[in-house]
Copies of this chain bind each other. A is one copy, B any other.
Amino acid sequence: MDKMLSVWKTAPKEGLELKDTAIPKIKDDEVLVKVKATSICGTDIHIYKWDEWAQNRIGKNIPYIFGHEVAGEVVEAGKNVRGVHVGDHVSAETHISCGYCYQCKTGNEHICQNVKILGVDTQGTFAEYLALPYRNAWVNDKKIPHWVATAQEPLGNAVHTVFDGEIVGKTVTIFGMGPIGVCAAGLCKIAGAAKIIAIDPVPSRLKFAKEFGADVLIDNSTDSNVQKQIMDATDGLGADVFLEFAGSPAAMKHGLGTLKAGGRASILGIFPKPFEVDVTNDIVFRGIHIGGINGRKMFDTWYKAKALLPKIGLERIVTHRFKLSEIEKGFDVLKRREGMKVVLEP
């Protein structure tokens, strides 16, 4: 049990490397997690492809193990660990916060000034074992299979975004039907949204949205009439809530443009670069409130996700399961945009 299989980013170019390396030693405030399932996030694809973002963000960290979505079992606990025990099933909150900055001390650890991201700034989860600060270990109900529990991390992003304001009885537009957007549709359904309008350019993704509860599907692969379709679907009134997961300036324009005066926009999408916004007409005159969303509230978001897991059918977004050693297959699937969530099991 001294060596483990692990997936490294070693070279500044597309690709990854499988290696046998030492099982990590934990510190006093860490737990050792035997990884049972780990899944591939959009961030991992950037790292795999070694695009501009990855070069800037990760350049100085390689070589290192990447990956951050995970579920597993605690096999060892440091002496300062509290509230997590050997044998517990856990997932990882990926924001490792400092605990003492202004944000950490006022309920906003997810935007800590000194935050490190698991699998980005630290050794990650694409491995058989993971050393994890115990404050970042979230104890799962043992009834949830590990291959489902690993998808809680994107579910959490959706929970944070959807519930940044009121949903019950509201009409909601959701742009971007990747795993997070699809979870958002499911959450809106569970929480009593009046009407859920899902927008995406990929028909297979819209199908997922429908399965999770979207009432209206809009294919925006052609831009011609997205706003009109939304206005029609809302009796000409516009939506109460706009959720952005697409990272697209056009989505931003269409989403803000179809918000009811006084509406709420919650933005999790990452946009490649700055773009034009009609602040006067789309925000000021109509009294719109916009929230930027990052990560998950620690740990209010996790408690909500836990409470809603029995209702959402999260297993449905897991479209592929591979052995960890077959990780390249997983990236292939996602590069072809065929899958929703790909899970790897060591």
For chain A residues 75-101, which have a beta carbon within 8 Å of chain B?
Answer: 80, 82-84, 98-101
Across the interface, which residues of B come within 8 angstroms of A108, CB to CB? 261-262, 287
Tell me if A292 and B298 are in contact (CB < 8 A): no
Contact with B along A275-296 (1 / 0, CB 8 A): 1111110011111111111100
A166 CA / B308 CA spacing, docked (Å): 14
Choose the segment among A118-126, A187-195, A203-211 that binds chain B (4+ C-beta atoms closer than 8 Å): A187-195
* A82 near B99: Cβ-Cβ < 8 Å: yes
Contact between chains at A262 and B103 (CB < 8 Å): yes
Residue from B29, B190, B252, B278 within 8 A of A279 (CB atoms): B252
Of A44-52, A264-272, A328-336, which stretch is located at the interface?
A264-272
The count of chain A contact residues (Cβ–Cβ below 8 Å) is 72
Nearest Cβ on chain B to A183's Cβ, whole angstroms: 13
- Whether the Cβ atoms of A280 and B271 lie closer than 8 Å is yes
Contact of B267 with A284 in the complex, beta carbons under 8 Å: yes
The answer to the question of A105 belonging to the interface, with a C-beta cut-off of 8 Å to chain B, is yes
Which of A145-153, A219-227, A299-307 lies at the interface? A299-307
* Contact present for A169 and B304 (CB under 8 Å): yes
Contact status A300-B106, CB under 8 Å: yes
The answer for the CA separation of A247 and B298 in the assembled complex, in Å, is 35
Contact digits for A158-180, partner B, Cβ 8 Å, 1 yes 0 no:
00000100111110000000000
**Do A303 and B168 contact each other (CB < 8 Å), given the known contacts A270-B284, A271-B280, A287-B111?**
no
Q: Are A284 and B277 in contact (CB under 8 A)?
A: no
Q: Which residues of B contact A308 (CB under 8 A)?
A: 168-169, 192, 194
Complex Cα distance A289/B273, Å? Answer: 20
Q: A108-B261, A262-B108 are in contact. Are A268 and B252 (CB under 8 A)?
A: no
**Bound form: Cα–Cα A296–B292 in Å:** 25
Q: How far is the CA of A261 from the CA of B269 in the complex (A)?
A: 17
- Whether A192 pairs with B194 at a CB distance below 8 angstroms is no
Contacts of A84 in B (CB 8 A): 100
Given the complex, which residues of B lie within 8 Å of A294, measured CB to CB?
A: 284-287
Residues A168 and B167 in contact in the complex (CB < 8 Å), given A111-B286, A275-B276: yes
Q: Tell me the complex Cα distance, A299–B135, Å.
A: 18
Query: With A28-B28, A105-B298, A113-B261 given, can you name 5 additional A-B contacts, CB distance below 8 Å?
Result: A105-B303, A111-B285, A168-B190, A275-B279, A287-B294
| CB-CB nearest 4 A-B residue pairs | A83-B100, A169-B307, A283-B292, A194-B307
Residues of A within 8 A of B (CB): 28-29, 80, 82-84, 98-103, 105-108, 110-111, 113, 135, 163, 166-170, 187, 190-192, 194, 237, 247, 252, 260-262, 267-271, 273-280, 283-294, 298-300, 302-304, 306-308, 311
Chosen A-B contacts, 10 in total, with CB atoms closer than 8 Å, are A83-B99, A113-B261, A169-B303, A247-B280, A252-B279, A268-B284, A275-B277, A283-B290, A287-B292, A287-B293
